[in-house]
Amino acid sequence: MAKARDTYMVIGGCGFLGHHIVQQLLARGDSVCIFDLVQRHFDVPFYSGDITNVDDVSSALRKSGTSCIIHTASPPAGLKNEALYYKVNVEGTKSVIAAAVSTGVRKLVFTSSAGVVFNGADLINVDERLPYPEVPLDAYNDSKAKAEEVVLEANGKDGLLTVALRPAGIFGPGDRQVMAGMYQVYERNQTHFQIGDNTNLFDFTYVGNVAKAHLLAADKLDIPPPAPPLCDTREDALLAED
């Protein structure tokens, strides 16, 4: 029997990444609406509200019949407003989960950030098993880490399946942070500095690919993972053959 298609709500869908997600969902024929503070796009049904108000979120979820939330909302990085980060990212995400559970939403995809495990020291060949740093880089990244924990903690409870994705720097059409920051460096005549020995690396991902990752995560969320392999590595497999 064919799987029923989800009805999507993109929270923060008027933002840079959020709107690319909306456009990709539309392009593949899915039903999608936006929940955001202010309407900036008029291509899909829009619900105005603040995620820190659980009633705003549950009322929009009920009216739209949403079965899958993609939650991309956050204040931008780099603000000097710790309280806002904790209010929107931590308390707001808790209220998204509460509203999702009370309205029977089945799936929640959360946009976290690669910065949740970064404290200024090099990270080489790490994966998602790396713990959060004891001293977070800043309030933005700390609030994203705490939100991510809340989202993952909710997985498999009250009928809700959750996943968190950690993009690094995102570039592409509509970007208001990454290129603006680089341009500011140029405008301030700061381009003649070199930090390190010119071998530093940082990940940037094209916004279309980050958006696609969100769709794939949503699609796979209710598919049980494949059975674990009998052998962990090729070396184990060869030993088993002996």
Residues of this chain that bind ligand NAD (CB under 6 A): 12, 14-18, 36-37, 50-52, 72-76, 88, 92, 111, 113, 144, 167, 169-170, 176-178
CB of 168 to ligand NAD, least distance (A): 6
**Encoded tokens for 233:** 């590595």
Residue closer to ligand NAD (CB basis): 71 or 107: 71
Residue closer to ligand NAD (CB basis): 18 or 240: 18
| Beta-carbon contacts of residue 30 (< 8 Å; ≥ 6 apart) | 5, 6, 7, 8
Asked if 144 is an active-site residue, the reply is yes
CA distance 131 to 117: 7
CB atoms within 10 A of CB 225: 6
CB of 205 to ligand NAD, least distance (A): 8
In the set 94, 107, 144, 146, the catalytic residue is 144
User: If we measure between CA atoms, which residue out of 161, 170, 159 comes closest to residue 112?
Assistant: 170
8 A C-beta contact, residue 108 and residue 162:
yes
CB of 43 to ligand NAD, least distance (A): 14
Residue closer to ligand NAD (CB basis): 59 or 177: 177
Residue closer to ligand NAD (CB basis): 54 or 237: 54
CA distance 213 to 44: 21
User: If we measure between CA atoms, which residue out of 82, 83, 111 comes closest to residue 96?
Assistant: 111
8 A C-beta contact, residue 98 and residue 201:
no
CB of 164 to ligand NAD, least distance (A): 10
CB of 75 to ligand NAD, least distance (A): 6
Residue nearest to ligand NAD (CB): 15
CA distance 154 to 55: 19
In order of 16, 75, 190, the CA distances from 183 in angstroms are 18, 21, 10
Residue closer to ligand NAD (CB basis): 79 or 238: 79
- How many residues are there in the chain? 242
Please give the positions annotated as active site: 144
